[in-house]
Amino acid sequence: MSEADFQYIIDTFFTLFSMVLIIFMVPGFAMLEAGLVRTKNVTSVLTINVMIYAVASMAFLLVGYTLAFGSWENSSMSIWAAFMFQMAFVGKTVNIMSGGVSERVKIIPLMFFTIIMGAIIYPSVVNISWGADFLNGTILDINMYDLAGSTVIHSTGGWALLAAIMIIGARKGRYKDGKIRVIPASNVPLVVLGALLLWIGWFGFNGGSVGSISSVENANLVAKTIMNTNTAGLSGAIIAGFIMYVRYKLFDITMILNGALGGLVAVTAGPDLYDVYTPILIGLIGGSLVVFAVPLFDKLKLDDPVGALSVHLVNGIWGTLAVGIFVDSVSILDQLKGIGVVALFAFTSSYIVLFIINKIIPFRAEDDVQVEGLDVNEVGVEAYPEFKRAI
Amino acid sequence: MSEADFQYIIDTFFTLFSMVLIIFMVPGFAMLEAGLVRTKNVTSVLTINVMIYAVASMAFLLVGYTLAFGSWENSSMSIWAAFMFQMAFVGKTVNIMSGGVSERVKIIPLMFFTIIMGAIIYPSVVNISWGADFLNGTILDINMYDLAGSTVIHSTGGWALLAAIMIIGARKGRYKDGKIRVIPASNVPLVVLGALLLWIGWFGFNGGSVGSISSVENANLVAKTIMNTNTAGLSGAIIAGFIMYVRYKLFDITMILNGALGGLVAVTAGPDLYDVYTPILIGLIGGSLVVFAVPLFDKLKLDDPVGALSVHLVNGIWGTLAVGIFVDSVSILDQLKGIGVVALFAFTSSYIVLFIINKIIPFRAEDDVQVEGLDVNEVGVEAYPEFKRAI
Amino acid sequence: MSEADFQYIIDTFFTLFSMVLIIFMVPGFAMLEAGLVRTKNVTSVLTINVMIYAVASMAFLLVGYTLAFGSWENSSMSIWAAFMFQMAFVGKTVNIMSGGVSERVKIIPLMFFTIIMGAIIYPSVVNISWGADFLNGTILDINMYDLAGSTVIHSTGGWALLAAIMIIGARKGRYKDGKIRVIPASNVPLVVLGALLLWIGWFGFNGGSVGSISSVENANLVAKTIMNTNTAGLSGAIIAGFIMYVRYKLFDITMILNGALGGLVAVTAGPDLYDVYTPILIGLIGGSLVVFAVPLFDKLKLDDPVGALSVHLVNGIWGTLAVGIFVDSVSILDQLKGIGVVALFAFTSSYIVLFIINKIIPFRAEDDVQVEGLDVNEVGVEAYPEFKRAI
């Protein structure tokens, strides 16, 4: 057997393995968000998660992949494995956005946005960052290092979310008389399960993004990438727990998990380039950013029930900058330009698309629907019909 | 290292990987069914799921594998990996059956049926379809193409379920005065988690059924199989959501998930043979069949709390036919004959075995046990003892 | 490509695969324990599980790995993969301990113990059993066969738990007027989900401990190890179900799962050395031991809400002995000596460390905190705030 054949086989297998880990993020996001929202909105959130996976993936299969990569060709592994790996990413950008507008977003307009995001917006970001690059030679051509998508995935989703929150507004009753009403998570075990499934999915996300495990060098690179990914999650969780304890003498588990996720987002741009200690620092900063950003967005009345802006947008930016800061061969200006161009494109295009859809079919559930709950009105199925409500 | 050794190593590893994905279907079925039944029957369903895995697998280890394959030999990979992969399938046929008679089936007689199913009935179906083939040369010899078991697994389980429903009857109070009493799922997040774990398991089920990833050709085949499997799930979910919305203006999440599972069952017979667009059509038809079959079985008073007849039996048949329809080299008559012979054998043998067991130890829980709930009476453990019931 | 390079690549990939399966034990333990405790203590248990993973892993990264193995070198696979695999183990020993003192242990002192366990105690046990071996040449030098840690992981965690229960005491109200108050699991689906995730994790735990899959011989060994691991879990579940039914005419699902876990712990010392039938016997004994040990520990007033002493300590010892009994080439005296030395070291060191920490920051939650629940007092987040309590 030729070395090329060996590598083709091993990298196909490895990419399928990585893809499967990423698919665990589908139940991961679904459980995380179902646990964070109120019981009356749980089946709505679950339906949105399942439908995003179905619709965004189908849009990417029919249109998006070709837009991103120009052609269905690959000589280093099976094109079908390469496709599945890329497809596993697409729904995540919409998940990030949909989670942050939970408890007041309607399913139908969200599905139209999902089609556009999966077919055009996200594939365009991939095109200019990792793909065919239609900005090549223009003044906007970017040269950012972003291994697994701190910017391409997480910031893109975050910018779409920011646009969505601006258009859709806060949940009814969330900000009233200058006060912020605390709305607690309804099912914390699901939150923990979801966050840990996301954590595991990240090994596939970042490890698989190395693209090959079939040489000694790449095997080392993949293993170090996975190790560094994990390390930033560890330190993100630790610092969030530490800050919460120092401030409140309480270990708020939802903040600890968001700290871990913040660390994971932050390390995603360059886990292959760091030594094994730098991710500790990146995660410490990432986890801290989450803890401080969550109340800040609330002050700005940007209502985000799952903390997605803090986890994905803030840390997507921080993580992309971090590669420029900690890695000599990567220019911080290139990173800034990449962040800026993607921000401009993702925010503007999302805003325009959301604005147009919103004119035709409003995203925002009516006040009485929000009070009664979206589950009864949008899904027709309650999440826990046999359990008596305390509130 | 010789090429044969290389292939042996890679295919052993790949088969273990695939097997592990299938084992995720054990919590998958358990969570799906635990979420779909009423709170008073949840630990009963969970116990049945765990015990089926234990008992059916042990029966297959001690008796079934030898009956199916004739000998414990394998030159292309470790025999222990080959065994584990096949063993991972066996409990599924009983899961399909047990789920459909939830909320009124007793554990003890079900365990006796599980032994017979794991030791004899399912291994016999494997024998004539994939294995030693003791019908070879007879008039009943079948030549069906069924890569990963649309017929061998899903229809077999479905026929056993049909026999079981005929013998055990509907849940008390389900059909009364000509009306169908709607019994809603008690915990929808568990339903979603379970269905998504099943979906992930399917990648191992179908991908692993290719049998080898250790050549360039096979690597492509495995990757395409996994991609096509996923695609049919996507379109099954989409069409089910679409139909539910058109009909009721509601996105019934349990129907969407059953639509996805229907698409996955349907593509299972030939995902390696299709181009990448055919599975879209197969899933669209599969998901539609589920939506229309669920009320049909209710009209026939075949009470199936989890929709297993619609998902597994109807789509098992559709999927096996589809290979004959869409693939030139596969004869639709061969497919029909395979469907027919397996139907005849699986239904008849299941019916007889269930009938005999039922005479000795009745399957059906007494009316007062059904009213009080099977958990207290069969398991002695309530699922949610600290939660106040609303109904 | 050289054979050495091929093996390096495959074994790096295989070790990462195994590591990922073990990481599924993090949600596994979290869900199992969250389901077993009362609703008022659920977020406390979840927080502890997440923080143990973060803190113990970080301690192992910064200190423990070097103490265990002496150096960061590995020529047979990527050192980063080897690290991640070993790191995946370390939290488990603390999980075993923390689970058994649930519902009355405070987070802060537990985190200090976690640091010592992850940095020193567990790495020292690894050092003398699998690692650099600083007892080499001394009278305490051990020559125990323990493939994946019946003693090194499970007994070590069990001895730490025994020390912790002795220092912390039973939950308030558990043993009163000579009677044992039964405290039922609050969420049984989570218990089942958690136990099944642990089961799947065990495939990585034991399979990965073979250390290599990159020769025909090792591929067979890995596959047999995984098969034997599973078989002992099957028979452990079956015997526990059988005994419960014979005694009480009830299939107590929590005992069935603990029986399965007991079988899995017991087979862990030598799954690569047994034929495929011996694990049936090992699991039957392991599952039986759990059923009989659980009430025994209660008679001794060793309050262990999750049955960890019975599952991990009793079966850790049994499993290590079993290798000496069933495998000719392994001396039962060597096994006994290994069990004894590890017991002495793990129990004594844990006791001393726990005792000292306890003098500075008491582990035990005050009576009123236990009555109100640890969630409100330690985490500030309730697990199910919208659900009305029945009790």
Mean pLDDT (chain C, rounded) = 97
Q: How far is B230 from chain C (nearest CA, A)?
A: 22
* B338 belongs to a structural domain: yes
* A385 belongs to a structural domain: no
Mean pLDDT (chain B, rounded) = 97
CA distance A59 to C200: 34
Whether the pLDDT of residue C95 is over 90: the answer is yes
Whether the pLDDT of residue C132 is over 90: the answer is no
* Residues of B in Cβ contact (< 8 Å) with C226: 16, 19, 80-81, 84
SS3 state at B206: helix
Q: Search chain B and give the residue with CA nearest A376.
A: B250
Mean pLDDT to the nearest integer, B104-131: 96
Q: Search chain A and give the residue with CA nearest B233.
A: A54
Determine the pLDDT at residue B34. Answer: 98
Among B131-135, C12-16, C117-121, C139-143, the minimum mean pLDDT is found in B131-135
CA distance B201 to C187: 25
Tokens of C257: 């799962």
Whether the pLDDT of residue A390 is over 90: the answer is no
Q: Search chain B and give the residue with CA nearest A74.
A: B220
Burial class (CB in 10 A: 0-12, 13-18, 19+), A295: exposed
ipTM: 0.98
CA distance C138 to C319: 26
Q: How far is A1 from chain B (nearest CA, A)?
A: 6
Q: Which residue, among C112, C34, C25, has the nearest Cα to C374 in the 3D structure? A: C34
* A16 belongs to a structural domain: yes
CA distance C322 to C267: 8
Q: How far is B188 from chain C (nearest CA, A)?
A: 12
Determine the pLDDT at residue A194. Answer: 98
- Confidence at A74, pLDDT banded by 50, 70, 90: confident
Determine the pLDDT at residue B133. Answer: 86
Q: Do A188 and C383 touch (CB under 8 A)?
A: yes
Q: Do A248 and C381 touch (CB under 8 A)?
A: no
Q: Do B12 and C250 touch (CB under 8 A)?
A: no
Q: Do A378 and B251 touch (CB under 8 A)?
A: yes
Q: Search chain B and give the residue with CA nearest C24.
A: B24
CA within 13 Å, CB half, B293: 22
Q: Search chain A and give the residue with CA nearest C61.
A: A231
* Residues of A in Cβ contact (< 8 Å) with C43: 188, 253
Q: Which residue, among C61, C52, C54, has the nearest Cα to A277 in the 3D structure? A: C61
* A391 belongs to a structural domain: no
pLDDT in tens, A315-335: 999 999 999 999 999 999 999
**B246: number of Cβ within 10 Å:** 8
**B211: number of Cβ within 10 Å:** 18
Q: Search chain A and give the residue with CA nearest B390.
A: A388
Q: Search chain C and give the residue with CA nearest A385.
A: C387
pLDDT in tens, C280-295: 999 999 999 999 999 9
* Maximum separation of any 2 CA atoms in chain A, in Å: 73
Mean pLDDT to the nearest integer, B343-365: 98
Of B38, B189, B220, the CB nearest to A42: B189
Mean pLDDT to the nearest integer, B19-33: 98
pLDDT in tens, B122-137: 999 999 999 888 898 9
Whether the pLDDT of residue C66 is over 80: the answer is yes
CA angle A103, A106, A111 (to 5 degrees): 125
Whole-angstrom CA distances from A366 to A34, A114, A302, C191 are: 21, 21, 19, 39
Mean pLDDT to the nearest integer, A223-228: 98
Which of C2, C7, C8, C20 best probes binding to A when mutated, by most A CB atoms within 10 angstroms? C20
* Residues of B in Cβ contact (< 8 Å) with C187: 383-384
Check: CB of residue C347 under 8 Å from CB of residue C162: yes
Q: Search chain A and give the residue with CA nearest C75.
A: A216
Q: How far is A226 from chain C (nearest CA, A)?
A: 8
Q: How far is C3 from chain B (nearest CA, A)?
A: 6
Q: Count Cβ–Cβ pairs < 8 Å, chain A vs chain C.
A: 176
Q: Do B186 and A9 touch (CB under 8 A)?
A: no
The residues, any chain, with a CB within 8 Å of residue C271's CB and separated by 6 or more, are C147, C148, C206, C224, C225, C226, C228, C229, C232, C279
Question: What is the number of structural domains in chain B?
Answer: 1
Q: Search chain B and give the residue with CA nearest A107.
A: B251
Of B78, B81, B388, the CB nearest to C388: B388
**B27: number of Cβ within 10 Å:** 29
CA distance C339 to C139: 15
Domain of residue C322 covers 3-131+139-367
pLDDT in tens, C337-372: 999 999 999 999 999 999 999 999 999 999 999 999
CA distance C65 to C71: 8
Which of B196, B222, B225, B228 best probes binding to A when mutated, by most A CB atoms within 10 angstroms? B196
* C372 belongs to a structural domain: no
Tally of residues, chain C? 391
* Residues of C in Cβ contact (< 8 Å) with A215: 5, 9
Cα dihedral angle (C164, C166, C171, C172), rounded to 10 degrees?
Answer: -140
Q: Do A35 and B189 touch (CB under 8 A)?
A: yes
Give the H or E element holding residue A176: strand A175-176
Q: Search chain A and give the residue with CA nearest C53.
A: A234
DSSP string, B325-368: HH-TTS-HHHHHHHHHHHHHHHHHHHHHHHHHHHHHS--BPPHH
CA within 13 Å, CB half, B351: 10
User: pTM here?
Assistant: 0.98
* Percentage of chain C lying above the pLDDT 70 cut: 100
User: What are the start-end ranges of the H helices in chain B?
Assistant: 3-23, 25-36, 42-59, 65-69, 79-100, 107-116, 122-129, 156-168, 188-209, 216-248, 253-267, 278-299, 308, 315-326, 332-360, 367-372, 374
DSSP string, A93-140: HHHHHHHHTTTTB-HHHHHHHHHHIIIIIHHHHHHHHTSS-TTTTSTT
* Residues of B in Cβ contact (< 8 Å) with A81: 219, 223, 226
pLDDT in tens, B259-283: 999 999 999 999 999 999 999 999 9
DSSP string, A258-317: HHHHHHHHHHTTSTTTS-SSHHHHHHHHHHHHHHHHHHHHHHTT---TT-HIIIIIIHHH
* C381 belongs to a structural domain: no
pLDDT in tens, C151-164: 999 999 999 999 99
Determine the pLDDT at residue A221. Answer: 98
DSSP string, B151-198: IIIIIHHHHHHHHHHHHH-PPTTSEETTEEPP---S-HHHHHHHHHHH
* B203 belongs to a structural domain: yes
* Residues of B in Cβ contact (< 8 Å) with C390: 385-389
Whether the pLDDT of residue A241 is over 90: the answer is yes
Q: Which residue, among B84, B91, B159, B200, has the nearest Cα to B342 in the 3D structure? A: B159
**One-letter identity of residue C13:** F
Q: Do A380 and B222 touch (CB under 8 A)?
A: no
Whether the pLDDT of residue A234 is over 90: the answer is yes
Whether the pLDDT of residue C391 is over 90: the answer is no
CA distance B172 to B176: 9
User: Which chains have 3 or more CB–CB distances shorter than 8 Å to chain A?
Assistant: B, C
pLDDT in tens, A262-309: 999 999 999 999 999 999 999 999 999 999 999 999 999 999 999 999
Q: Do A13 and B219 touch (CB under 8 A)?
A: yes
* Percentage of chain A lying above the pLDDT 70 cut: 100
Q: Which residue, among A57, A15, A50, A55, has the nearest Cα to A29 in the 3D structure? A: A50
Q: How far is B328 from chain C (nearest CA, A)?
A: 38
Which of B36, B216, B255 best probes binding to A when mutated, by most A CB atoms within 10 angstroms? B216
Q: Do A216 and C382 touch (CB under 8 A)?
A: no
Tokens of C98: 């923390």
CA distance C300 to A264: 45
* Residues of C in Cβ contact (< 8 Å) with B35: 189
Instruction: Indicate which CATH number applies to the domain containing B318.
Output: 1.10.3430.10
CA distance A374 to C191: 30
Mean pLDDT to the nearest integer, C7-34: 98
* Residues of A in Cβ contact (< 8 Å) with B223: 12, 16, 78-81, 84
Q: Do A253 and C50 touch (CB under 8 A)?
A: yes
SS3 state at A389: strand
Check: CB of residue B386 under 8 Å from CB of residue C390: yes
* Residues of C in Cβ contact (< 8 Å) with B194: none
- Confidence at C113, pLDDT banded by 50, 70, 90: very high
CA distance A268 to C286: 43
* B388 belongs to a structural domain: no
Mean pLDDT to the nearest integer, B145-171: 97
Determine the pLDDT at residue A317. Answer: 98
DSSP string, C224-285: HHHHHHHHHHHHHHHHHHHHHHHHHSS--HHHHHHHHHHHHHHHTTSTTTS-SSHHHHHHHH
Check: CB of residue A384 under 8 Å from CB of residue B187: yes
CA distance B156 to B93: 7
Q: Count Cβ–Cβ pairs < 8 Å, chain A vs chain B.
A: 177
Whether the pLDDT of residue B391 is over 80: the answer is no
Of A84, A108, A380, the CB nearest to B227: A84
The residues, any chain, with a CB within 8 Å of residue A336's CB and separated by 6 or more, are A321, A324
